[in-house]
Structure 1
Amino acid sequence: MNRRTTRIHSIAILSALTALSGAASAQSSLNVFGVMDAAVRRTNTDGVGHVLSMASGSYTSSRYGFRGKEDLGNGLSASFWLESFLSTDTGLASPEGFQRRSTLSLSHAQWGELRMGRDFTPTHQNWSRFDPFNYVGIGSVQLFSLSAAGNTPVTAAFGSNSNSIQRSSNGVQYILPRNSWGVEGSFTKAFGESKVSANDQHDSIGGRLGINLGPVFVSAASYTTHDDKTISDFKDRAVAASWDAGVVKLSAGLRRFEYKDAKQNNYLIAAIVPFGAHEVKFSFNRAKMGGTAGTTSIDGDSADQLALGYVYHLSKRTVAYATAATMRDKGNARFVVPGSPAGKAGAKSQGFEFGVNHEF
């Protein structure tokens, strides 16, 4: 199916869902939602040059979607969630349909939720909530999870293909119900459906578990993806904690990637300082590699990222923001801040951006 046909099908689906929204019964709900985000960005890589651009999704990802729920009685409900990418800077929507999320659920107030389809992985759900930059933009901790950053466990396992670090398709999740103990968690199994991984169709299994202890939140997650071609497993583990002291919220965490002999530890230290309608955000992220990725030694390869951000809440649904970040590679690491041109191994990159984010 070509992109034009996919777009036509997507438009037809959206039109049908919008028409149905007016006919929803008292026991049902159907909502259209989304985010429009645009930022002006300037980045630079030492020895290469700078890039001035407009970015979409630097505070939270630009997107649109539909979600609905039906009350089935006796505490049971059915729901769906369809969510797609959107580029504010170009006006283009994702030609692949609802790649951000496509799930169908049965939920019970006492027994929890059974969710099927394409959704975030347990480790991403665990790790991203501690990133003060919402896992997007030039200050995001996401940079150390990308497949195009030189020799890392991620590139060794997945190459330039889609990976299971952020989302998985063909998944079945069980999500714990809300409870008075402050415990939350989920278990996920994703089916590969073939011997060749494509379009995030990976054979994976894992879960997450967290506990709220008043101002303190602690959680851990694990997700393992099996590679049928090499009979090897890509292991993704994460543990993190936060403390909300009111005047400041502090977070720290560790995420570890392993594939064969390649290892990567990702460290996060972050803080958010709210005051009135303002927020100041800070994060320090470090990626440290070891072992061998393919036939290449990655011992001594590492990268440090420092980010500082400011947010002004214009309303409940609209914010203005600014972020500055710098990335310094060591050894043969090749990480760069988003939008910056690729440089030599061990290079330094930096950038800043300012923009507006509006939810609807």
Structure 2
Amino acid sequence: MKKSLTALAALAVTGLASAQSSVTLFGVVDAGVSYQSATSRDPVTGATSKQSQWSLANSGYNSSRIGFRGTEDLGGGLAASFWLEAPISNDDGANGIASFNRRSTVSLSGGFGEVRLGRDYTSTFWNDTVFDPFGTNGSGTNVISTVSASTGIGNTNYVRASNMVGYFLPPNLGGFYGQVQYSFNENVRTSGTDLTAATSSNAGRYIGGRFGYANGPLDVALAVGQNVVVDTTSLTQKVQTINLGASYDLGPVKLFGEISNVQNKFATAALGNSHDSYKGYLLGASVPVGAGLIRASYSTVHYNEGVQGITGENPRVNKFAIGYVHNLSKRTALYATVARVNNRNDAAYTGDLSAASTTGYGTTGVGYTGLPRSSTGYDFGIRHAF
């Protein structure tokens, strides 16, 4: 009898263990002193002006955040997971767990892969951040990412998209990986009316995919995506992105590269079809030095003529960044970054100091700051992860 009770108890414990959940609290607290400056020039008079700002900022090395994630083993190779991640502004304490708009997903995974539902990174943003030595954080962030996500393009779903259904390939495919994602626009469809944002518009929809191969020192991935920004009877605006990124770890140095093409497409009832294009590339490297890491990158974006009123021949923006990270432990690091941006032929990129952006093109007068020529950024900070 005792043996039977012992066996039943063992089975019960085994059953509970197989369905047991694990929940983890995690986060990053990153703070640093930042200096940003931007110089502009009046194209008519040649007069220059400069704006600068000192600040205690956050997320100069890694994005400050706090989150909860958990997994339940359902047995038979199935698992259910959740991930809730909120941004925090630890420099002033103003933003905490008010929303999980960095990531909020629930998923089911198994031998078939993973089906993930909720708000998440888009497929096309992954290459920007994975193949950037600075991880799209701080003054070193590559211009491919910041130009592509700019308000001038209106690509609000460039970094993340809400209401998304995603499928991820299983990790046992000999180094091949991939994902496809669809974000619902959630607009009410009304028949018998003109197409507006409130009646059947597709504005807010994102479709994308990313496929790559990672084995040993090599990692390479291709991503494509489309975001519908405006969709009415008189105007349709779609932002289409395709980028290819790669990295190769040689040991003494890890190399990074990315090429990107973003097209801001318009279809108007009055003017027909047109588009703006932004073509860019990035070259970067990271070099381990004892307990530290040297990071460097050069990125550039070429604008086609006519973008945002630009009339110069071959307008482009170039950015060079270099930085050093010193790891005090596995969780704590000190960092320093310096970056320099130069605009050529009317390109209007201003970097982090958006207050230095122009108020007009080809005109002078009160409030006109001229065309942005260059900007510089410095970050000095500490990052702690938990």
TM bin (shorter chain): 0.7 to 0.9
Matched to 1:76, the amino acid is L
Task: Provide the C-alpha distance between the structure 1 equivalents of 2:257 and 2:223, rounded to a whole number of angstroms.
Answer: 15
For 1:236, which of 236, 241, 244 is the aligned residue?
A: 241
Rg (Cα) greater in structure: 2
Matched to 2:375, the amino acid is S
Match of 2:163 in 1: 170
Task: Provide the C-alpha distance between the structure 2 equivalents of 1:94 and 1:330, rounded to a whole number of angstroms.
Answer: 40
For 1:186, which of 179, 188, 193 is the aligned residue?
A: 179
Contact 1:29 1:69 in 2 (8 A): yes
Q: What is the alpha-carbon root mean square deviation over aligned residues?
A: 2.2
For 1:221, which of 223, 227, 232 is the aligned residue?
A: 223
* SS at structure 2 position matched to 1:138: helix
How far apart are residue 299 of structure 1 and its match? 5.5
Query: Residues 277 and 294 from structure 1, CA distance in 2 versus in 1: closer, same or farther, beyond 3 angstroms?
Result: closer
Match of 1:45 in 2: 38
Unaligned runs of at least 5 residues, structure 2: 1-16, 40-48, 188-195, 266-274, 358-369
Matched to 1:259, the amino acid is N
Deviations 1:181-230 (A, max 9, x none): 10011000111112649xxx721111000002421111100011123232
Contact 1:165 1:236 in 2 (8 A): no
1:137 matches 2:138 = yes
For 1:329, which of 333, 343, 347 is the aligned residue?
A: 343
Deviations 1:330-358 (A, max 9, x none): 22222223247415324111121110000
How far apart are residue 35 of structure 1 and its match? 0.5
Match of 1:351 in 2: 377
Match of 1:103 in 2: 105
Task: Provide the C-alpha distance between the structure 2 equivalents of 1:292 and 1:78, rounded to a whole number of angstroms.
Answer: 49
Match of 2:3 in 1: none
Match of 1:119 in 2: 120
Unaligned runs of at least 5 residues, structure 1: 1-23, 149-154
Task: Provide the C-alpha distance between the structure 2 equivalents of 1:37 and 1:123, rounded to a whole number of angstroms.
Answer: 26
Contact 1:37 1:57 in 2 (8 A): yes
Aligned residues: 324
Identity %: 38
Matched to 1:239, the amino acid is L
Matched to 1:77, the amino acid is A
Query: Residues 339 and 247 from structure 1, CA distance in 2 versus in 1: closer, same or farther, beyond 3 angstroms?
Result: same
Matched to 2:106, the amino acid is L
* SS at structure 1 position matched to 2:137: coil
Deviations 1:116-175 (A, max 9, x none): 000000011122101111111001013323424xxxxxx24x2xxx61110000100000
Task: Provide the C-alpha distance between the structure 1 equivalents of 2:252 and 2:215, rounded to a whole number of angstroms.
Answer: 18
Query: Residues 248 and 299 from structure 1, CA distance in 2 versus in 1: closer, same or farther, beyond 3 angstroms?
Result: same
Query: Residues 45 and 231 from structure 1, CA distance in 2 versus in 1: closer, same or farther, beyond 3 angstroms?
Result: closer
Contact 1:48 1:341 in 2 (8 A): no
Contact 1:50 1:340 in 2 (8 A): no
User: What TM-score, normalized by structure 1, do the two folds share?
Assistant: 0.85
Deviations 1:87-143 (A, max 9, x none): 0110122586111011010011x2100000000000111221011111110010133
Matched to 2:260, the amino acid is R
Task: Provide the C-alpha distance between the structure 2 equivalents of 1:70 and 1:207, rounded to a whole number of angstroms.
Answer: 27
Deviations 1:313-344 (A, max 9, x none): 11011100000000111222222232474153
Task: Provide the C-alpha distance between the structure 2 equivalents of 1:121 and 1:94, rounded to a whole number of angstroms.
Answer: 23
Matched to 2:138, the amino acid is G
Matched to 2:20, the amino acid is Q
Runs ≥4 residues deviating over 3 A: 291-299
User: What TM-score, normalized by structure 2, do the two folds share?
Assistant: 0.79
For 1:1-360, list aligned pairs within 5 A: 27-46=20-39, 47-93=49-95, 97-108=99-110, 110-141=111-142, 142-148=145-151, 155-156=152-153, 158=154, 163-194=156-187, 196=197, 202-226=204-228, 227-229=230-232, 230-260=235-265, 261-293=275-307, 297=311, 300-339=314-353, 341-343=355-357, 344-360=370-386
